[in-house]
């Protein structure tokens, strides 16, 4: 509750770039969020175990195209630095040897890791994680997408995405940024996606920006990817049959905090997606959140509600919040 990134600054919601500088704390009626680019909370071990389980079942959630290996190392090192910066008591990155083959010692006490590696040399990584992007993805709760910029166009050419919200990284890998967002209503007609593409291309190395996105999810299911639609798609039907107590317990506001970072060595854009879930029963405990969420859901245009997959139960969600 204290660190939940409530996503509605206004009473209405429309797609927009809604980008702001990262690392800035945001106060809420329940606490604050936003100081860390890489957030660690009480779900840390559970979510990492869930990521490992998903990757074991479906390896297509991980992909690094051949030309992205430098970017993968760049991302891994950047994320280690972020962890060491924001969690210095538990994580530390030490440069042991400079030169053409920089050698680092990485410590993550949360996972019992104390490992020395040579930057760019996969043979020096742990045998259970022989590639840099896979190794760091096993240590952060964020999904990771790396965008390569070629001839003025961004391509989603690498990543580890196990907690997708109704999309498929395995299907999208190698597509352009504009193609990946093709199905989203209004984005192209209103020029939002073009402006976002131009903004990302202008990012300078080391700059960190963020935005939020949201939907509703039934249950605490992080993986609602299109690959598993037969498992979670029917939830949209039967959730309407629940009594009020179960409805408030099972329907969650799902919020993504997305960080956008230009990596210094490769020039790739790192897109981090951290997912937070809060059940209506808890959301209703904060008066401002309860009323604002109901307002947004009631006013949301039908095509946007349909795309988010909440059209069938968004009005009941709004009514539930107003009544509880």
Give 115-125 pLDDT, tens digit per residue: 999 999 999 99
Q: Quick one: pLDDT band at residue 27, thresholds 50, 70, 90? A: very high
Any domain includes 5: no
| pLDDT value at residue 194 | 84
For residues 184-198, give the mean pLDDT: 73
Residue 82: how many CB atoms within 10 A of its CB? Answer: 23
Give 141-161 pLDDT, tens digit per residue: 999 999 999 999 999 999 999
Taking Cα atoms as reference points, which of 284, 264, 212 lies closest to residue 70? 264
Any domain includes 263: yes
Any domain includes 2: no
pLDDT beyond 70 at 55: yes
| pLDDT value at residue 189 | 60
Q: Choose, from 186, 211, 290, 316, the residue flagged as catalytic.
A: 211
pTM beyond 0.85: yes
Any domain includes 34: yes
Any domain includes 276: yes
For residues 252-270, give the mean pLDDT: 97
Mean pLDDT, the chain, whole residue set: 95
* Apex 51 CA angle, 147 and 26, nearest 5: 65
Q: How far apart are CA 268 and CA 285, in angstroms?
A: 41
Question: Has 211 been annotated as catalytic?
Answer: yes
Q: Quick one: pLDDT band at residue 311, thresholds 50, 70, 90? A: very high
283-292 — which CB contacts under 8 Å span 24+ positions? 283/253, 283/321, 284/248, 284/321, 284/324, 285/1, 286/1, 286/6, 286/28, 286/29, 286/30, 287/29, 288/29, 289/6, 289/29, 289/30, 290/321, 290/322, 290/324, 291/321, 291/322, 292/6, 292/8, 292/11
Structural domain span for residue 140: 20-323
For residues 212-227, give the mean pLDDT: 96
pLDDT beyond 70 at 63: yes
| pLDDT value at residue 119 | 97
Q: Quick one: pLDDT band at residue 164, thresholds 50, 70, 90? A: very high
pLDDT beyond 60 at 188: no
Any domain includes 13: no
Q: What is the 3-state secondary structure (H, E, C) of the chain?
A: CCCCCCCCCCCCCCCCCCCEECCCCEEECCEEECCCCCCCCCCHHHHHHHHHHHHHHCHHHEEECHHHHHHHHHHHHHHHHHHHHHCCCCEEEEEEECCCCCEEEEEECCCCEEEEEECCCHHHCCCCCCCHHHHHHCCCCCEEEEEEEECCEEEEEEEECCCCECCCHHHHCCCEHHHHCCCCCCCCCCCHHHHHHHHHHCCCECCEEEEEEEEEEECCCCCECHHHHHHHCCHHHHHHHCCHHHHHHHEEEEEEEEEEEECCCCCCEEEEEEEEEEEHHHHCCCHHHHHHHHHHHHHCCHHHHHHCCCCCCHHHHHHHHHHC
Any domain includes 11: no
Give 281-299 pLDDT, tens digit per residue: 999 999 999 999 999 999 9
pLDDT beyond 80 at 99: yes
| pLDDT value at residue 233 | 94
Domain count, the chain: 1
For residues 196-204, give the mean pLDDT: 92
| pLDDT value at residue 195 | 87
Any domain includes 36: yes
């Amino acid at each position: 509750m204290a660190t939940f990134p409530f996503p509605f600054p206004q009473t209405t919601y429309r797609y927009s770039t809604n980008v702001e500088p990262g690392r800035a704390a945001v106060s809420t009626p329940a606490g604050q969020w936003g100081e860390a680019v890489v957030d660690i909370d009480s779900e840390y071990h559970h979510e990492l175990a869930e990521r490992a389980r998903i990757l074991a079942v479906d390896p297509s959630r991980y992909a690094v195209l051949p030309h992205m290996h430098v970017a993968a190392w760049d991302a891994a090192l950047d994320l280690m630095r972020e962890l060491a910066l924001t969690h210095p008591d538990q994580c530390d990155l030490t440069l042991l040897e400079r030169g053409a083959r920089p050698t680092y010692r990485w410590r993550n006490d949360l996972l019992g890791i104390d490992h020395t590696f040579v930057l760019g040399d996969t043979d020096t990584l742990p045998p259970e994680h022989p590639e840099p992007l896979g190794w760091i993805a096993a240590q952060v709760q964020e999904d990771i997408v790396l965008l390569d910029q070629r001839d003025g166009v961004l391509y989603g050419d690498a990543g580890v995405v196990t907690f997708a919200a109704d999309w498929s990284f395995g299907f999208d890998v190698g597509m352009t940024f504009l193609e990946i967002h093709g199905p989203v209503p209004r984005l192209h007609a209103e020029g939002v996606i073009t402006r976002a593409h131009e903004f990302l291309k202008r990012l300078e190395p080391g700059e960190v920006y963020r935005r939020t996105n949201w939907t509703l999810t039934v249950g605490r299911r992080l993986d609602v990817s299109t690959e598993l639609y037969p498992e979670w798609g029917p939830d949209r039907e039967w959730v309407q049959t629940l009594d009020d107590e179960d409805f408030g317990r099972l329907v969650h506001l799902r919020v993504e905090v997305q960080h956008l970072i230009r990596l210094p060595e490769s020039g790739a854009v790192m897109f981090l997606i951290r997912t937070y879930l809060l059940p209506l029963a808890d959301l209703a405990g904060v008066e401002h959140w309860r009323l604002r969420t109901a307002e947004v859901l009631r006013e949301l245009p039908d095509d946007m509600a349909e795309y988010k997959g909440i059209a069938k139960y968004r009005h009941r969600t709004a009514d539930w919040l107003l009544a509880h």
